[in-house]
A and B are shown apart, each in its own frame.
Chain A
Amino acid sequence: MSSQIIDQYANKLGEDVRTSVHTGSASGTDKRFKVLFDDLPDANGLRTTAGNVKQHTLDHLDKYLEQAERALISNGAKVHYAWDSETTCSQVENILKQASARTVTKSKSMVSEEVGLNESLLKKGYDLVETDLGEFILQLDGDHPSHVVKPIIHKNRAEIARTFEKHGLGEYNDEPEIITRRAREFMRAKYLAAEATITGANFISAESGRLCIVTNEGNSRFGLAGARIQIALVGIEKIVPRDADLALMLNLLGRSATGQALTVYTEFISGPKPVDSVSGPEELHVIFVNNRRTEVLDSNCREILRCIRCGACMNVCPVYRQASGHAYRSVYPGPLGAVLSPLLAGAEGFSELADLPKASSLCGACNEVCPVDIPIPDLLLRLRDKGKREKSSNAATDSPPMGAWSWVAKSPSLWRASLRSANMLNLLPYEKIPFGPLGRWTKDRTLPPWRGGKFRAWVKNREKEAK
């Protein structure tokens, strides 16, 4: 009999991948903790405030979206709205077509993964290169990110060196410095040749229409320097009300994501290049992507849209550390993905991913590290309830039925009888019904001796003695 899909995936995971993921995420957690609490007197207070700012924005998203659009337009940007994946891809393609651009650089954007932009453009014959080193390696390998901030957390340097060798980027050499230099040489030519560049945006200020993009490699900047056209893909939840809010968000983002006080490059883009500026895109297109975000906003899990994609929840998550990001079978892994992915899959796709919210011991570490204080365990529980109500088979896999147990737990006399007879062993939830009594538990663990009724007997005895 099989366990849950993610557990099976974890069990088959190669030791090298598990080690890479575990080491990478654990070091992320330690660095975050040190920097956040050393630097900030009340880091947890800031997390609460940031959560309130994002929640307020979501609660008034209609207003802020309009305000952002107005500000962007007055800055000279062109604003587009994309309802779903297909529209997003076709809007990008239309912009490229109109500008006669075929060569494109692209910096990291999770929403582009969500809508399958790379596949769509490459199929149409565009020359598109990912300029974030990790994403570039994934592109070479035909792989997908397994972490929102460290997309190749599942790879080690030997693997990367082999990939470079295979793709003609030099003889095998696994020195990180050599790998980086080779990628840089390859990339420089691409930056100069590119006609357009695609970016994401970490935040967008409704007040000023400023796009804020953070990177550690400066790749998005290089992309902007070379290209005539910038297309920014922005999930509608990326808006913050004011420029001042960026200070709060940036203070938390770098520290939560990589343990840096600030990422190496923080760009504020107010529009296309001014006429007298020597470089920069002449056109700035901002595509606000919905892709079911309004459905999420309408659900009882809307708090997940506060997420600023720092990855702290996956770094700290013991399940993610054992299973790796790919176990989640979706763009967003870890606790974030366990909530967001089934929701973004919509009514028709929810059932397929309804096991994701079960992939948690509900330990709450994700909530504890979240820079915008998303109550992730509560949302996981709400989705479990939804999975059960919608009778999703993936949610039910290997979850013991609770019917008999709840009957007994409602009836004191049945409960006491169960205690005396050890019949509760057949009702307690840690037991796998079809596997024989306690099979799943006792495979790796002993069970303490049964002492059902002993406490109650002690109580009775004391009462007797007291009389």
Chain B
Amino acid sequence: MLATLKNYHLLQNIMAKITLLKTPPERVLFMATCLCDAFFDEAAKASVEVLESLGIEVIIPDAQTCCGQPAFNGGDWKASRSVVRHTIKVFAGEDPIIVPSGSCAAMMFHGAPLEFEKEDDYQAVKETGDRTWEIFDFIYNGLGIKEWEGSWNGRVAVHSSCHTRGTGTTEAISSLLGSIENLEILDFAEPEQCCGFGGTFSVSFPNISRNMGNLKIENILETKPDLLVSGDMSCLMHLRGLAEKSGRDMPVKHAIEVLRDTVKSEQKTNVLTNH
């Protein structure tokens, strides 16, 4: 039997925020990410709507740009640090920062502190990272919401993005989606294998990246899903792009959109009762 997802969330190489927040925040800052800013507004909207349906006020700083990860991964730490410095200013304060991306969240709480190790403003970077959450990790582990009301008819494959290794995200997505009525979660082969996106990797190593993506797509399509979801739009953009170019049908969505779609009808009342 191949490795199952369940055993892969145990590691703590990336700091996991597995502690329940003592008091649920009334307000959060939302970091949309550059990909949602440019391509995937639906995922960003769904995130805001889900958070609001939980009675949380969502502040969306207008000056936000990017977490700095492209340059960080590319090795240009100097350029990356300059972007991070902008970002920590934009997200100053004490409110939790919620990100609809495991990758950008990990950049905030793991990557940025790494490249600031020897910098004077390390503490500010670390402090910002410490209150940054990937959205599913936040709902499931931070707020302690372990089940999701609602119904969604279909078979869903969950791609566990690599930057959520060692965080609570994978379990959070599988458990929350798994608790939705009529929604079946599919197990596919080699879930621990990367999709091959890797940011600049996808263009610096185009052949390897494509081959990795095709392996992932084959494993996923084998289970005949109605929908592929993930906590990272970047993986989905790459996988969907490969599938579409080669004429394979593979609908994708951010996992948060499924949560939103199942609460949409009750959402307004929920917000009203809480505010």
CA–CA, A108 to B205, complex, Å? 33
Chain A, 424-467, contact with B by CB distance < 8 Å: what is the 0/1 string? 10001111100000001111111111111111101100000000
Contact A44-B10, Cβ < 8 Å, known A7-B208, A459-B60: yes
Which chain B residues border A60 with CB–CB below 8 Å?
A: none
B34 close to A (CB within 8 Å): yes
Chain B, 124-148, contact with A by CB distance < 8 Å: what is the 0/1 string? 0000000000000000000000000
A365 close to B (CB within 8 Å): yes
Is B70's CB under 8 angstroms from A316's CB? Answer: no
A290 close to B (CB within 8 Å): no
Interface centre among B13, B63, B114 (most CB of A within 10 A): B13
Pairs A-B, 3 closest by C-beta atoms: A361-B198, A384-B75, A445-B241
Which chain B residues border A441 with CB–CB below 8 Å?
A: 202-203, 241
A35 close to B (CB within 8 Å): no
Query: B-contacting residues of A (Cβ < 8 Å)?
Result: 3-4, 6-8, 10-11, 26, 29-30, 33-34, 37, 44, 316, 318-319, 322-323, 357-365, 367-368, 373, 375, 378, 381-382, 384-385, 387-388, 395, 397-403, 405-406, 408-412, 415, 419, 424, 428-432, 440-456, 458-459
Which chain A residues border B86 with CB–CB below 8 Å?
A: 409-410
Chain B, 194-236, contact with A by CB distance < 8 Å: what is the 0/1 string? 1011111111111111111001000000000000000000000
B203 contact from A362, A431, A453, Cβ within 8 A: A431
Using CB atoms, name the residue of chain B closest to A375: B13
A456 contact from B62, B80, B202, B242, Cβ within 8 A: B62
Pairs A–B under 8 Å by Cβ, sample size 30: A3-B205, A7-B206, A30-B3, A318-B194, A318-B208, A319-B212, A322-B207, A322-B208, A323-B208, A364-B163, A365-B194, A367-B165, A368-B165, A385-B77, A388-B77, A402-B70, A402-B71, A402-B80, A405-B70, A406-B71, A406-B80, A406-B83, A410-B85, A412-B65, A428-B70, A429-B203, A440-B203, A445-B245, A449-B39, A452-B38
B178 close to A (CB within 8 Å): no
Interface hit among B19-27, B40-48, B150-158, B258-266: B40-48
Which chain A residues border B209 with CB–CB below 8 Å?
A: 361
CA–CA, A440 to B201, complex, Å? 11
8 Å CB interface, B66-100 against A: 66, 68, 70-80, 82-83, 85-86, 90
Interface centre among A33, A363, A453, A456 (most CB of B within 10 A): A363
Give the shortest distance, in Å, between A45 (CB) and chain B (any CB).
Answer: 9
B122 close to A (CB within 8 Å): no
CA–CA, A33 to B77, complex, Å? 35
Which chain A residues border B199 with CB–CB below 8 Å?
A: 361-362, 429-430
Which chain B residues border A387 with CB–CB below 8 Å?
A: 75
Using CB atoms, name the residue of chain A closest to B103: A362
Which chain B residues border A448 with CB–CB below 8 Å?
A: 39-40, 237, 240-241
CA–CA, A430 to B74, complex, Å? 11
CA–CA, A6 to B240, complex, Å? 25
Interface centre among B71, B77, B85, B201 (most CB of A within 10 A): B201
Using CB atoms, name the residue of chain A closest to B209: A361
Instruction: Identify 14 new A-B residue pairs, CB closer than 8 A, beyond the known A357-B75, A406-B79, A447-B241.
Output: A30-B3, A44-B11, A361-B209, A368-B13, A373-B13, A398-B203, A402-B71, A428-B38, A429-B74, A440-B206, A449-B39, A450-B38, A452-B39, A459-B48
Which chain B residues border A322 with CB–CB below 8 Å?
A: 207-208, 211-212
Is A316's CB under 8 angstroms from B200's CB? Answer: no
Is B79's CB under 8 angstroms from A400's CB? Answer: no
Give the shortest distance, in Å, between A330 (CB) and chain B (any CB).
Answer: 18
Which chain B residues border A452 with CB–CB below 8 Å?
A: 37-39
Give the shortest distance, in Å, between A190 (CB) and chain B (any CB).
Answer: 41
8 Å CB interface, B163-193 against A: 163, 165-166, 190, 192-193
Give the shortest distance, in Å, between A467 (CB) and chain B (any CB).
Answer: 15
Is A405's CB under 8 angstroms from B79's CB? Answer: yes
CA–CA, A424 to B33, complex, Å? 13
CA–CA, A367 to B203, complex, Å? 24
Is B210's CB under 8 angstroms from A444's CB? Answer: yes
Is B206's CB under 8 angstroms from A361's CB? Answer: no
B273 close to A (CB within 8 Å): no
Which chain B residues border A385 with CB–CB below 8 Å?
A: 75, 77, 115
CA–CA, A375 to B15, complex, Å? 12
Give the shortest distance, in Å, between A397 (CB) and chain B (any CB).
Answer: 8
Is A412's CB under 8 angstroms from B201's CB? Answer: no
A455 contact from B37, B190, B206, Cβ within 8 A: B37
Contact A399-B13, Cβ < 8 Å, known A428-B34, A448-B39: no
Is A409's CB under 8 angstroms from B77's CB? Answer: no
Give the shortest distance, in Å, between B130 (CB) and chain A (any CB).
Answer: 18
Is A378's CB under 8 angstroms from B114's CB? Answer: yes
Which chain B residues border A412 with CB–CB below 8 Å?
A: 62-65, 90
Which chain B residues border A4 with CB–CB below 8 Å?
A: 204-205
Which chain A residues border B211 with CB–CB below 8 Å?
A: 10, 322
CA–CA, A398 to B90, complex, Å? 32
CA–CA, A430 to B204, complex, Å? 9
CA–CA, A363 to B74, complex, Å? 14
Is B203's CB under 8 angstroms from A316's CB? Answer: no
A7 contact from B62, B76, B205, B237, Cβ within 8 A: B205
B56 close to A (CB within 8 Å): no
B272 close to A (CB within 8 Å): no
Give the shortest distance, in Å, between B153 (CB) and chain A (any CB).
Answer: 25
CA–CA, A382 to B80, complex, Å? 13
B11 contact from A368, A399, A445, A446, Cβ within 8 A: A368
Contact A363-B245, Cβ < 8 Å, known A7-B206, A400-B74, A458-B41: no
Is A408's CB under 8 angstroms from B206's CB? Answer: no
